[in-house]
A = this chain, B = another copy of it.
Amino acid sequence: MRILYHLPLSPYARKVRLVLAEKRLPFELRVEKTWERRPDYLAMNPAGTVPTLTEDNGLVIPHSNTICEYLDEAYPDICLVGRTLGERVEIRSVAAWFDERFAQEVSRNLLYEKVMKQASRRGAPDAARLREGYAALRTHLAYIGWLAETRKWLAGANLSLADFAAAAHLSALDFIGDIDWSIAPAAKEWYARMKSRPSFRALLADRVSGIAPPPHYADLDF
């Protein structure tokens, strides 16, 4: 069985879960407590991060972008990285925006400070970083809203990896109650479309010990 090593609130693992589900590829989830630095896991993925995917044929694929590119090449029926050169450039650029820029300015400051630090017993959240994260989140929500109003999906006319990258980061923040959707109606409308896809169901059913998501988290009509 295909196995995805993950953490429930890792945006990168969530992105891969969405892509696997969208491509209707069955897989088993295994939680990997990355802070324990398990030798067998480090042998598969020297960076020690989640996610890592293993295929039945023995192929081990670390790193979320490498996994998503692999999945689009190995299972091309449902194409998520675009067809023309121009589409592929736009999809990869927008996906990278979320996986790097949004991650550094928002997810790193909120998710890491509030969840990962506690899970790995590295102390209390840093108030300055939280303030920075919330301020950046407002800017990013406005940018998502602008993208969603000027295109059908975030990177163009078709649903793509860019939408899943963005939705993965937002869904993790939404789980910890950090998103005020009332300030970002256009981003909310796009996220409601993402949330109602069958591929999103498993994420909405996630349970994490010690954290109760807000009531709107799993509500398609939030």
A residues near B (Cβ < 8 Å) are 46-47, 59, 61-63, 65-66, 69-70, 73-74, 85-86, 88-89, 92-93, 96-97, 100-101, 143
Contact = CB atoms under 8 A, between A and B. Distances in A.
A66 B96 CA distance: 8
Nearest to A48: B101
Given A69-B92, A96-B66, A59 B86 contact: yes
A89 B59 contact: yes
A206 to B, nearest CB: 26
Contacts of A89: 59, 61, 66, 70
Contact of A70 (B62, B70, B85): B85
Nearest to A62: B93
Nearest to A52: B93
A93 B66 contact: yes
A92 B73 contact: no
Contact of A88 (B70, B86, B143): B70
Given A63-B92, A63-B96, A93-B63, A74 B69 contact: no
Given A92-B69, A97-B47, A85 B59 contact: yes
Contacts of A69: 69, 88, 92
B93 A85 contact: no
